[in-house]
Amino acid sequence: MSERSAEGFANGFPQTRLRRVRRHDWSRRLVREQTLSVNDLIWPLFIREGDRQREAIASMPGVDRLSIDLIVEAVGEAVALGIPAVALFPATEAKLKTPECEEAINANNLVCRAVRAVKQTYGDRIGVICDVALDPYSSHGQDGLLRDGYVVNDETVSMLCRQAIVQAEAGCDVIAPSDMMDGRVGAVRRALDDAGFIDVQIMAYAAKYASAFYGPFREAVGSAANLGGGDKRTYQMDPANSDEALREVALDLAEGADSVMVKPGMPYLDVVRRVKETFGAPTFVYQVSGEYAMLAAAAQHGWLDRDRVVLESLLSFKRAGADGVLTYFARDAARLLG
């Protein structure tokens, strides 16, 4: 049944009716420009010490820190759902955090043990991504080594190379430098190649902003208190800039990054679009802990429809040009899409 034209719409006006193709579901599906699938998802998981330990993270309702045995079970769910990769983040015990971050290069540290357990169980059925940065290990909460209160670049990069090697030795498939030191991608690439890890990928946190949206993550890995009132503005990017993001991405690609990342996600969709259009390289985006917290908390209150905002937010990353999304909603989204 069609509406009869009213008086004001004589002579066939409007000629173009964009609503016509929106009228029925079959037609909406035919003209849909973007799709979200399980292949777009990377699931970040938090690891803690112990056996059968599951510990809630207050500011991330629905996300827990898991001991390695439970991490292996969670990764099993990801495998069953078809999620292509997980990113593992260690909540290092406070007693192991030091100013010089020695635990980062301990081949038997929490994340290395978790990677070994996951890889022994699932092999190449799922990819494992590990950050390279010192904040899970530093008593000061910074991502690099501190000298006179300043995070020094080159000395930090040397540590990051050693960290990348112990993680690759543990079986990590993708090294993700998240530290924002200059030159670290090239240095880590050389270190990996020299050690024989020519097929270990690098996913560079290329445009990582000094954002307030990381708050819950710092609670999750226990670095918030260490950082105190400190911030990371001498190495992470100024939220005001996007030309600079293109320069960061250009350098990381030139230094050998296999893929690049923009972080955070929802407030930086314009940056995702510019990066993808400019370089056409595999581009990922991180829907960070604060974004998760906003949506999860509002949904808990009944103020937002959780399933719908999760899928809409993830689709927005695809529309902006992202090839994939690191999201704490990955398991939920995979179930909804399944």
Q: Min. distance of Cβ 64 from ligand FVT in angstroms?
A: 15
Task: Give the footprint of ligand FVT on residues 103-142 (CB under 6 A).
Answer: 131
Residues 46-75 vs ligand FVT: string with x where CB under 6 A? ------------------------------
Q: For ligand FVT, which is the closer residue by CB, 43 or 214?
A: 214
CA angle 154, 156, 162 (to 5 degrees): 110
Instruction: Closer to ligand FVT by CB, 10 or 58: give it.
Output: 58
Q: Which DSSP string do the residues of 222-284 spell out, in sequence order?
A: T-HHHHTT---TTTSBPTT-SHHHHHHHHHHHHTT-SEEEEESSGGGHHHHHHHHHHH-S-EE
Q: Could you give the CA distance from residue 91 to residue 53 in angstroms, rounded to a whole number? A: 13
111 — phi, psi (to 5°)? -70, -35
Find out whether 177 and 156 touch, Cβ atoms under 8 Å: no
- Contact flag: residue 248 with Mg ion (CB under 5 A): yes
| Size, binding site for Mg ion by CB under 5 A | 1
What type of residue sits at position 13?
F
Told to check if 252 binds ligand FVT by CB under 6 A, we report: no
Between 288 and 334, name the residue whose CB sits nearer to ligand FVT.
288
Instruction: Lay out the site mask for ligand FVT across 168-207 (x = CB under 6 A, - = otherwise).
Output: ----------x-----------------------------
Nearest distance, CB of residue 44 and ligand FVT, angstroms: 7
Q: Is 55 annotated as a binding residue?
A: no
Closer residue to Mg ion, CB minimum distance, 219 or 248: 248
91 φ, ψ (degrees, to nearest 5)? -95, 90
Window 283-322: residues binding ligand FVT (CB under 6 A): 288-290
Name the burial class of residue 53, with classes exposed (0-12), middle (13-18) and buried (19+) by CB atoms within 10 angstroms of its CB: middle
Q: Are strands 150-151 and 146-147 parallel, antiparallel or unpaired?
A: antiparallel
Interface contacts to ligand FVT, rule CB under 6 A: 131, 178, 214, 217, 288-290
Give the residue numbers of the binding site: 248
